A and B are shown apart, each in its own frame.
Chain A
Amino acid sequence: MTSNPSPSNSCRFGGCTLTGALSITSHVCDAVTIVHGPKGCTHHNFSLLHATAMDSESVRIPEIFSTGLMETDIIFGGEKALDLTLDSVARLDPAAVFVLSTCITETIGDDVRMVCSIPRGFPIIPIPTAGFLGGPFQEGVNNALIALAEMAGQATTDGGVNIIGEKNLEYDVDENFIEVARMLDILGLPVNIRFVHDLDTDRISHLGAARLNILRDPALVPVGTSLLHRFGTPYIPSFPVGVSGTAAFLESVAGACGIDCRRALDEEQALQEEMFCDFADLAGCKVYLDPAMTDPGGIHVVRELAGALKLDVTPTGCRVPVPLDPPVGIAGMRRMLHRWRRAIHA
């Protein structure tokens, strides 16, 4: 893992399918999530979500309930416990309820889908999330997004763009969104909905109204494909990362929407030049980029930036922090370069 204890360097995506799905459903503000399993599965995940929300200075406590299964529920089946929990959350008058399964309930074969199909006056959406089946965090994210998309009907296009699958647990989630929204604004494209980040259930119905979906990263391609089939909305597979990645992003968004991106490219290039000037003092410094911390595509983005600033990348150089995900836009690159400067001058 990482030797840098900064919150931005802690990996929050190593959990199981359940954690991934919770990172999405807990961001539907007026909905309730039930985790069907022993209470510990809920407790550990709640702790992670709570700590992460505190980092982001958010005080909204997600509504997550456990069916609190005990041994007798496992022996005789846990469907009744789920039924009772659905009864008790009904009193909260939720806009929707998500029911997430756990390892033990999938093992004993509880028919969660059957229990969820009994009408109760609010939508109940089951999402299979048993971690032991091997699905990683990302599969939980994707399953949850695809299940939530089922709630949206067809809508007429309003010209906006959806942001799909933001990493709600990442430290820079809002900064990254602001950066993407800024670039879209230069292109004259408003954001339709953030699917899903602090979203109300009634806004989910607008999902199909966008002219384009922008995925947080390529791991969400199954979600992008599902939305393409369902609403006919094309997608861009990633946020803008790094120097050339940002230009490519602007070009592909403009291409997908049939608009001219020359002005946006010029503005972005000017901002990049400004950034290179601001960090010109780093030229010639010997640095070492720890490649263990990111994927090969990500390290390529970071190397490109180091090259543009004429840094000397060598194994004997000063070890500089490389984020788990490649930096998003100018703002992301600047944040990373500030950390590099601090490391070099430390």
Chain B
Amino acid sequence: MKQIALYGKGGIGKSTTSANLSAALSLQGLDILQIGCDPKRDSTRMLMHGNFIPTVLDLVRERGEAALSITDVVYTGFHGIRCVEAGGPEPGVGCAGRGIIATFQLLEKFGALSGDVIVYDVLGDVVCGGFAMPMREGYAQEIYLVTSGELMSLYAANNICKAIKRLSMRAKSRCRLAGVICNAKNEPREEELVTEFARRVNSALVHFIPRDRIVQIAELNRKTVIEYDPGCPQAQRYRELAARVMENTRFAIPTPLEIHDLESLAIEFM
């Protein structure tokens, strides 16, 4: 079983990338589980044809853990992809990070963490230990950074490198940086910049996904690009990404950059 996690700045397109990646992998004949690890709970929405599925934590809150079973928390979407949303507290109260930990414990108890590939789609930044959970305890062993060529997006990706580095130094840790996915804003020299960033943090650009209106159109139709228009070039990009993820063997301990190095890198490719 392959377990991968996608991390990156909020709004960069992690959920879109995750859902299309899951869809492409599923069409290769693989059994896929996608877990949204964000209180915003919209990771799996396109796989569920626009529906927000009940989150694990909503169910715990409403019914209590004892009353739940695996069928309450796992929903089947496009092409048999199993979907889970961790959910979280209302904005502004409680502890979302602990919610992620509790969700993982519950999924473990249910034996829900199975299949050929598990895709963990995690919120913007590793804000606390709870959101590092997918990287810990042998869950996701391959971490992909989703970033554009914008400095703030690279800054967030660099911070996540720090978390991976820290966690990968622990005994028995199998969490490694598997690569950088460029979800482009179509800025000039963007691919070169992100390729160089990936090299500097001891990794590699796995794939370049250009900005394409088809993503928005597919979303308005409540579908992934893979489902909405399988023949379009963007769908081909996602299938290539899926193939590269499955072939990938380059898993590294990252070397995060200092902020001034990151800035001068961005200036170099302006």
The 8 listed contacts between A and B (C-beta, < 8 Å) are A72-B61, A75-B57, A75-B60, A75-B88, A75-B96, A76-B61, A107-B95, A108-B93
Q: Is B211 engaged at the interface, CB distance under 8 Å to the other chain?
A: no
Residues on B with C-beta less than 8 A from A57 are: none
Are B102's CB and A76's CB within 8 A? no
Q: How many residues of B contact A (CB 8 A)?
A: 14
A170 interface residue (CB < 8 Å to B): no
Tell me whether A72 and B95 are in contact in the complex, defined as CB-CB below 8 angstroms, given that A77-B89, A77-B90 are known contacts.
no
Considering only CB atoms and an 8 Å cut-off, how many residues of chain A contact the other chain?
12
B94 and A77 within 8 A (CB): yes
The yes or no answer to B124 lying at the interface (CB within 8 A) is no
Chain B positions 83-130 with a Cβ under 8 Å from a chain A Cβ:
88-90, 93-96, 98-99, 102
| Residue A71 interfacial (CB < 8 Å) | yes
A79 adjacent to chain B (CB < 8 Å): yes
Which residues of chain B have C-beta atoms less than 8 A from A72's C-beta? 60-61, 65, 102
Are A74 and B60 in contact, CB atoms less than 8 angstroms apart? Answer: no
Contacts of B89 in A (CB 8 A): 75-77
Q: Which of A71, A108, A109, A110 contacts B102 (CB 8 A)?
A: A71
Tell me the chain A residues, 50-109 only, with Cβ under 8 Å from chain B.
Answer: 71-72, 74-79, 107-109
- Complex CA gap A252/B3 in Å reads 74
Chain B's closest residue to A80 (CB) is B93
Q: Is the CB of A77 within 8 A of B93?
A: yes
A75 touches B99 (CB 8 A): yes
Task: Determine if A79 and B93 form an interchain contact, defined as CB atoms under 8 angstroms apart.
Answer: yes
Min CB gap A132→B, angstroms: 15
A78 to B102, CA, bound (A): 16
- Docked Cα-Cα span, A74 to B99, in Å, equals 8
Cα distance A341–B102 in the bound complex, in angstroms:
61
Q: Given the complex, which residues of B lie within 8 Å of A110, measured CB to CB?
A: 93
A107 and B130 CA atoms in complex are apart in Å by 14
Which residue of A75, A79, A109 contacts B98 across the interface (Cβ within 8 Å)? A75
